[in-house]
Amino acid sequence: MNEEARDLAYSIPWRTSGVRMGSHRSYMTGSGGLTRDIVPLTMFPDPRRIAIRASLSDPFERLLVRRAEQPSAIDIAVLVDVSASMAFEGRCDKISLAADLAHALAICTERAGDTFALYPFDRELRQDILLRKTLSRGAHVEAIERLRNFAPDQPGTAGIVEAGAAIAGSKKLVFLISDFLWPEEAARAAAEALAFHDVIPIELRDSLELDGLPDWGLLNLRDLETGRHRLVAMRPKLKARWRAQRTVQRQHVALALETASRETFTVSDNIDWMRLASFLLHGAA
């Protein structure tokens, strides 16, 4: 965990209705710094906040009071794809990248007073390593360590629907961490399941996947997702075709996801924390 990761921050472009004090803008009125609106004293009987100028200029001669916003806490859910394809270790270890991201986000939530939840899923929601929303720092660390030590063993991504049910309720900030080597339908199902929330897809990409293929030769590849073997007579032309097909697949998945999410943030081999922070704060990297 490097130091830059600790400085990660996020912001939300929407107001929460959370009642708990926190650091995000909300619909609640309370004792925050920002003026929200001006209402009659009868409505908000706090004479400390009488707005003199507004009261004097009120044509109905009422006593008006300033109301301030209350910054509220939100719930953060980190959904990690731990399906078999995430086990591929080329130039990076996707599971450990995901754990790093989750750890950085957990630290963020601790700083901002938000809750943190971790939902790893493959073809089902992984009950054995998930963490329901909590403020407990110890629980965060423990869950992240469990994730880091986890060896993916099941294919599929259908568990995201269960995860969607688990985080149903008020609007949450959801990080969806995966390699997104999904069929388009899976991406669409994920988008539907998470549509109510503010979803930030983070794609983990291992450049060795395509760069590491030899120009010529026979490869016996085992698809980690399906377990099927395929003997491939690799040649430059086929390599180029694979590259193109993978690009098209990524485009399709991104298109399906982004109907209900923010733009996908791509992590290639290693995480550029500054870029990620910038992306999370300003919506663009």
Partner 1 sequence: MIFTNPIALLLLPLALLPLLLGTQRQEAYPSLAGFEPDGLSVAIAWALRIAGMAAILGLILGIAGIAVRERSVERFGQGAHIVLLIDRSASMNDTFAGRQPSGEEESKSSAAKRLIKDFIVEREHDRFGVAAFSTAPMHVVPITDRKDIVLEAIDAIDRPGLAFTDVGRGLGMGLSMIQEDVLQGSRAIILVSDGVAVIGRRVQEALRAEFARRPVNLYFLYLRTEGANSMFATPPPGAEDTPQALPERHLNKFFQSLRIPYRAYEAESAEAIKAAIADIGKLEQTPLVYTERIPQYDLSRWAYVVAALSLGLLLVAKLCERTIKRAGVIHAA
Binding residues for partner 1 (CB under 8 A): 1-2, 85-93, 96-97, 100, 179, 181, 183, 206, 208-209, 211-214, 216-226, 228-235, 238, 241-242, 245-246, 248-249, 269-271
CB of 5 or CB of 166, closer to partner 1 = 5
Residue labelled with tokens 């130039």: 91
CB of 234 to partner 1, least distance (A): 7
CB of 31 or CB of 270, closer to partner 1 = 270
Would you say 251 and 184 are in contact if contact means Cβ atoms under 8 Å apart?
A: no
Residue labelled with tokens 């929200």: 36
CB of 258 to partner 1, least distance (A): 18
CA distance 160 to 190: 6
CA distance 278 to 285: 6
CA distance 268 to 92: 9
CB of 268 to partner 1, least distance (A): 10
CB of 141 to partner 1, least distance (A): 16
CA distance 184 to 261: 15
CB of 146 or CB of 252, closer to partner 1 = 252
CB of 142 or CB of 185, closer to partner 1 = 185
Query: How far is CA 230 from each of CA 11, 218, 219, 220, rounded to the nearest angstrom?
Result: 45, 10, 8, 6
Starting at the edge strand found earlier in the chain, the sheet holding 265-268 runs: 131-134, 115-121, 75-81, 173-178, 198-205, 265-268
Radius of gyration of the chain measured on its C-alpha atoms = 23
| Backbone φ, ψ for residue 162 (5° rounding) | -60, -40
CB of 207 to partner 1, least distance (A): 10
CB of 37 or CB of 211, closer to partner 1 = 211
Nearest 10 degrees: CA dihedral of 144, 148, 150, 153?
110
CB of 46 or CB of 89, closer to partner 1 = 89
- 3-class SS at 76? strand
- 3-class SS at 42? coil
CB of 213 to partner 1, least distance (A): 6
CB of 66 or CB of 148, closer to partner 1 = 148
CB of 109 or CB of 157, closer to partner 1 = 157
CB of 74 to partner 1, least distance (A): 29
Would you say 160 and 222 are in contact if contact means Cβ atoms under 8 Å apart?
A: no
